[in-house]
Structure 1
Amino acid sequence: MLDVSRIQKELTEIERDKKTSGISANLCGDSDLAHLCGTIAGPMGTPYEGGLFQIDIRLPAAYPFEPPKMQFMTKVWHPNISSQNGAICLDILKDQWSPALTLKTALLSLQALLSAPEPDDPQDAVVAQQFRRDYATYVSTARYWTEAFAKGAYLGMEEKVQKLVEMGFPEDMVRTTLEQCGGDENMALEKLCSG
């Protein structure tokens, strides 16, 4: 059984610090606390800078005693993240998880992983090999993928926010609803109108 009060407390903490941390997390569906949508900003000084990366978060019934299941929904070129399905190789999401950790620390750890790839413990062997053998090509490929997949979605998101704000909805509510709907403008509009 999920600890609802803990999850709500964690989401409140993430929301409070999102401007400084560059991370956020919200409900993906209507009210299912076991399925969350997170975002992390690409760290400064990395090929991921300026990108906004969507993370699918599934909380097992035994959370926080079991780690959350996280997966990149935004395509990313990184040795520790599958370029095919977004699977993540990070110790705290597996055997190094502790109930003392939170969703915020997990998302911040993903952000740190973007800053400090570990090619010797890869999720994507092709990217790890490129990282070790031809670092300049790795950086340019990672930048290209960030431009193509993480910035495009973000820029499109800003246009969607602006359109919905012009319809008379408050900006904070629009942003939250768009995040919950995975950027689907029509679904967000429907949700805003009904609620």
Structure 2
Amino acid sequence: MSSPKRRIETDVMKLLMSDYEVTLVKGSMQEFYVRFKGPQETPFQDGTWSVHVELPDQYPYKSPSIGFRNRIFHPNIDELSGSVCLDVINQSWSPMFDMINIFEVFLPQLLRYPNPTDPLNGDAAALLLREPKAYENMVKDYVAKYASKGVTEDGDEDSSGDEEMSSVGSYESDDEPAGQMEV
């Protein structure tokens, strides 16, 4: 077994053995969904998102692709595709990082400290800069509508395509994953 394959298995096993709910797509360790809860003491704290992850064959030397499947209102996350703009991974990805880092450090930091000066969602960035309280209220509205307990627990992600995603507020209609951005 090659080193990247072994590393993929090691990292995915760490995730599977963690407190995160991980659903493999078609049994593959290179494509899966992770249920991700918003960090405490942020407007995202009551939300749960399904995050789609694809690991390239060259992982960990090449960064994974990740994308939020249910809507989230954030300056650095594209509302429609779920793509994430996360410079710390995108431009400085290192084989020293693993999947646990993404869900325990990078994504919580991104939600806790948005960067409105480099937005994927210009509306969220503008609102955060002009009216921080209105931004916080909009985030909470999105959490209630797209990432609340009742919305996200109606269906579980599995390998059957996108139909299971409709119960978590998905807005994808084809069988392709949301437009993911390498991070």
**Do both share a fold (TM > 0.5)?**
yes
Query: Could you list the runs of 4 or more consecutive aligned residues of structure 1 that deviate by over 4 angstroms after TM superposition?
Result: none
Give distance in 2, aligned partners of 1:45 and 1:155: 22
Q: Describe the SS at the equivalent of 2:51.
A: strand
2:79 is aligned with 1:78: no
In structure 1, what is the Cα distance between the partners aligned to 2:116 and 2:15?
29
The 2-side partners of 1:123 and 1:82 are apart by: 5
Choose 7-16 or 102-111, whichever is displaced more.
7-16
Q: Deviations over 1:140-180 (max 9, x none)?
A: 110000011001423435xxxxxxxxxxxxxxxxxxxx343
RMSD of the TM alignment (CA)? 2.2
* Aligned-pair CA distance for 1:2: 7.9
Map of 1:160 onto structure 2: none
Match of 1:112 in 2: 109
What's the counterpart of residue 156 of structure 1? 154
> For 1:91-143, what per-residue CA distance to the aligned partner results, in whole angstroms no more than 9, with x for missing partners?
13311100111111122211221111111222211110100001111011100
Which structure has more helix as a fraction of its residues? 1
Whether 1:142 aligns to 2:139 is yes
Structure of greater relative contact order (alpha carbons < 8 Å, 6+ residues apart): 2
3-state secondary structure, aligned to 1:180: coil
Runs of 5+ consecutive residues of structure 2 not aligned to the other structure: 166-183
- CA offset at residue 88 of structure 1? 0.6
What SS does the corresponding residue of 2:53 show, helix, strand or coil? strand
**TM-score normalised per structure 2:** 0.78
Alignment of 1:9-20 (within 5 A): 9-18=10-19
Q: Give 2:33's aligned amino acid.
A: C
Unmatched segments (≥5 aa) in structure 1? 158-177, 186-195
User: Quick check: 1:2–1:61 contact (8 Å CA) kept in 2?
Assistant: no
Q: Secondary structure at the match of 1:47?
A: coil
Higher Cα Rg, which structure: 1
Q: In the alignment, residue 43 of structure 2 is paired with which amino acid? A: P
Contact kept? 1:69, 1:93, Cα under 8 Å: no
Q: Tell me how many residue pairs correspond in the alignment.
A: 160
In the alignment, is residue 47 of structure 1 matched against residue 43 of structure 2?
A: yes
**Residue of structure 2 equivalent to 1:180:** 158
**Is the contact made by 2:8 and 2:55 (CA closer than 8 Å) also made in structure 1?**
no
Q: What secondary structure sits across from 2:34 in the alignment?
A: strand
Q: Percent identity?
A: 24
Which letter maps to 2:70? T
